[in-house]
Amino acid sequence: MKIRPLQDRILVKRIEAEEKTASGIIIPDTAKEKPMEGNVIAVGPGKQTESGNKIVPTVKDGDRVLFSKYAGTDVKIDGEEYLIMREDDILGVIEG
């Protein structure tokens, strides 16, 4: 089973906390909005603008991304948890 996100939505597999420490990203334990890390599983075709254009997302399948803790909506597909969020909720791509 597969999810094809609509518009500018992105399907993300969250990376667990242990894995995060390993990769060097540590989420500080404060009251602030905490960023999260995940892998992009599927990318929507892009948001359609009023003028009929499509804004193609700049992230792609396999990208490792940072996003806000409260971004998106949880879904479970075949027993696995995923997140569907708008591309705008993604803060950046982790490289290297």
Here's the x/- map for a second copy, 34-73, by CB under 8 A: it reads as: xx------x-xx--xxxxxx-x--xx------x-x----x
For Cα atoms 29, 73, 92, give the angle at the middle one, nearest 5 degrees: 60
Q: Does 18 bind a second copy (CB under 8 A)?
A: no
Nearest to 40, CA basis, from 85, 96, 88: 85
**Given 12, 19, 27, 40, the residue binding a second copy (CB under 8 A):** 27
- Nearest approach, Cβ of 17 to a second copy (angstroms)? 13
Cα–Cα distance measured from residue 73 to residue 96, given in angstroms and rounded to the nearest whole number: 28
Q: Does 7 bind a second copy (CB under 8 A)?
A: yes
Q: 51 — phi, psi (to 5°)?
A: -85, 5
The radius of gyration of the chain from alpha carbons, rounded to an integer in Å, stands at: 14
- Nearest approach, Cβ of 64 to a second copy (angstroms)? 10
Nearest to 36, CA basis, from 12, 73, 68, 63: 68
Residue ranges that bind a second copy, judged by CB under 8 A: 1-7, 9, 11, 23-28, 30, 32-35, 42, 44-45, 48-53, 55, 58-59, 66, 68, 73-79, 81, 84, 87-88, 90-96
